[in-house]
Amino acid sequence: MKRLLLERALYPLLGLAVIVVAWQLYTQLYAVSRIVLPSPSDIALASVRHFALLLAQTWPTLGATVLGFVIALVLGIPLAVCVANSRVLNLTLYPILVATQSVPKVAIAPIVLVWFGFGMESKLAIAFLVAFFPIVVDTATGLRSTPPGLLELARSLRASPWQVFSKVQMPAALPFVFSGAKVAITLAVIGAVIGEFVGSVDGLGNLLLAANSQLESPLAWAALIWLSALGIVLFAAVALVERLVVPWGHSGR
Amino acid sequence: MAEVNSALKRAGTGPDPAPFGRFRDVRQSFARPGQAPLHAIEAVSFDLERGKLVSLLGPSGCGKTTLLKIVAGLMRATAGVVQIEGVDVTEPQPEFGVVFQTANLMPWRSVLRNVLLPIEIRRDTGGAARAAALELLSLVGLAGFEHARPAELSGGMQQRVALCRALVHKPRLLLMDEPFGSLDELTRMEMQDLLLDIRARTGATVLFVTHSISEAVYLSDRVVVFSRRPATIADMIDVPLPYPRTPELRYCATFTEIGHRAGRALGVSR
């Protein structure tokens, strides 16, 4: 087991190291312009030199992402419960929900900007919008796929509707809720960055654009890597909560 | 005087005027769009005496599970009388215990909390339930597993947990729907002995659905043999073998004879 864990950590790191070395060699051997493709060492250097700036710009992006995600959870799960338990609501809302998904979120961004301005609210709104759908759909799917045997058991014990919901449906749906949440948190980062691209005064996305326009490619790349790291950390955080809350939900236990 | 009379009646050899379970002309049919209704059960009548273990034996899909669900109150018969202790069964009866074909355990609950589910649903706050659950678990050989999760148990162990869950509230009637059908032969034989042991201790009345002739004969006081769908009673066989039953009985002449008679009723032997 420990050996497997080591292998699973070691091999991707090894692969990454190979890519970084190849990249470094390529940029040096062919004297690639720093503006076109900065080398890993350039990016690392920019990361260190602009550490304070990068850190300061991380907070607005992180805040918008997490807040948008949390609001999506708080509004999405109750809506999923309603949709899963009411035929009328399901028939009414589900097609609308799916239809709104065909609207490209990037295209909504300018409109959201008109509503909420250049501050935190716009990116938060976009992060929320993209995170909302996977949470609602996966939670509703989970609530509807309660094992029929468990429902029959609850019925044979004459459990009340609330008992059926709280003791059977909801726990059975939790693994689905988390699979939706993991997709949602990743999308929320993207949503926040879209918000920053379209119009904002701060954040890593904003920094990336600004650095790019000033041909400060190493800093732009550094911002990109920080954004990726942010996404990975947030995903890992949700996965960790899942392990704590749904210890039975993993295929391998 | 009246008490003596009723006691005499109960002890007498004549037909019990008020059997524990009474089924008369039970019919079940399902409407099918654009087709004639599907008749699952046709005019089934028999009695279930208190403390007896009665098997419903029949081919797969013959309607015996449907009948069990009707007795459990999970389904309503289209017509006929279904009474337990003189009361019509029209809705689920939490005071019965039901064991399903699959263990139906909640993967998020420990073994003990799975067993305690019926108590929790009834909002029974007495502390005795926990002790009863632990005692049942040790009776079925699962002492020490009370905090394990169902996923850590084998199929046979899971079905034992399900059995404990069905027994934890001391039901008067235990309804079992092919509970050992998915187990391997050896585990199944173990579980049969376990069930007989538990029945001997609790004195519960048991209605047991199976498609295995040997299982029905080994377990039961009486075997009700069903025909193919629509289910009617093809034969009703009292098993004269004494309890406690031991595995050696499976090889005695009476056992074979009864099995043969059940096989004839099922149309699988001549």
ipTM metric: 0.85
Distance from CA of A71 to the nearest CA of B (A): 27
Which residue does chain A place closest to B108, by CA atoms?
Answer: A248
Question: How, if at all, do strands B79-84 and B233-238 pair?
Answer: unpaired
Q: What is the pLDDT of residues B49-82, one digit of tens each?
A: 998 999 999 988 788 889 999 999 999 988 888 9
Helices A170-198 and A120-144: crossing angle in degrees, nearest 10, is: 160
Domain boundaries, chain A: 1-30, 38-245
> E strand or H helix at B44, and its extent?
strand B38-48
* pLDDT at residue B14 is higher than 50: no
Q: What is the pLDDT of residues B135-170, one digit of tens each?
A: 999 988 899 999 999 999 998 899 999 999 999 988
Structure-model confidence comparison of residues B30 and A236, the more confident one: A236
Give me the mean pLDDT over the B3-24 stretch: 59
Contacts of B92 in chain A (CB under 8 A): 155-158
pLDDT of B126 reads: 67
Distance from CA of B71 to the nearest CA of A (A): 11
Give the residue from B113, B121, B165, B174 with the most A CB atoms within 10 Å of its CB, the best one to mutate.
Answer: B121
Chain A CB within 8 Å of residue B100 CB: yes
pLDDT of A251 reads: 43
B74 contacts A171? CB cut-off 8 A: no
Q: What is the pLDDT of residues B116-130, one digit of tens each?
A: 999 999 887 667 888
A155 contacts B98? CB cut-off 8 A: no
Residues of chain A with pLDDT under 50: 251-253
> Six-digit token pair at B30?
């399902």
Chain A CB within 8 Å of residue B212 CB: no
> Six-digit token pair at B183?
């187990």
pLDDT of B5 reads: 44
Give me the mean pLDDT over the B187-213 stretch: 91
* pLDDT at residue B186 is higher than 50: yes
Contacts of B158 in chain A (CB under 8 A): none
Chain A CB within 8 Å of residue B120 CB: yes
Residues linked to residue B38 through DSSP beta bridges, in sequence order: B30
* pLDDT at residue B10 is higher than 80: no
* pLDDT at residue B8 is higher than 80: no
pLDDT of B15 reads: 52
Chain A CB within 8 Å of residue B148 CB: no
Chain B CB within 8 Å of residue A157 CB: yes
Nearest to B215 by CA among B235, B251, B188: B188
A163 contacts B74? CB cut-off 8 A: no
pLDDT of A9 reads: 85
* pLDDT at residue B112 is higher than 80: yes
Contacts of A171 in chain B (CB under 8 A): 106, 108
Chain B CB within 8 Å of residue A189 CB: no
* pLDDT at residue B113 is higher than 90: yes
Helices B155-167 and B185-202: crossing angle in degrees, nearest 10, is: 20
pLDDT of A240 reads: 94
Tell me which CATH code domain A38-245 carries.
1.10.3720.10
Strand ordering across the sheet containing B205-210: B97-99, B173-177, B205-210, B53-57, B222-226, B233-238
Contacts of B100 in chain A (CB under 8 A): 149, 152-153
Chain A CB within 8 Å of residue B91 CB: yes
pLDDT of A250 reads: 59
What is the Cα–Cα distance from A207 to A196, expressed in whole angstroms?
Answer: 9
- pLDDT band, residue B9 (cuts 50/70/90): very low
Q: What is the pLDDT of residues A145-154, one digit of tens each?
A: 999 999 999 9
A246 contacts B107? CB cut-off 8 A: no
pLDDT of B231 reads: 84
Give me the mean pLDDT over the B94-111 stretch: 92
What is the Cα–Cα distance from A251 to A249, expressed in whole angstroms?
Answer: 6
User: Which candidate from A156, A163, A174 shows the least CB-CB separation from B92?
Assistant: A156
pLDDT of B30 reads: 87
Distance from CA of A80 to the nearest CA of B (A): 21
> E strand or H helix at A17, and its extent?
helix A2-29
Q: What is the pLDDT of residues B219-257, one digit of tens each?
A: 999 999 998 878 889 899 999 998 889 888 889 999 999
Contact (CB, 8 A) for B179 and B163: yes
Q: Is B173 exposed, middle or buried (0-12, 13-18, 19+ CB in 10 A)?
A: buried
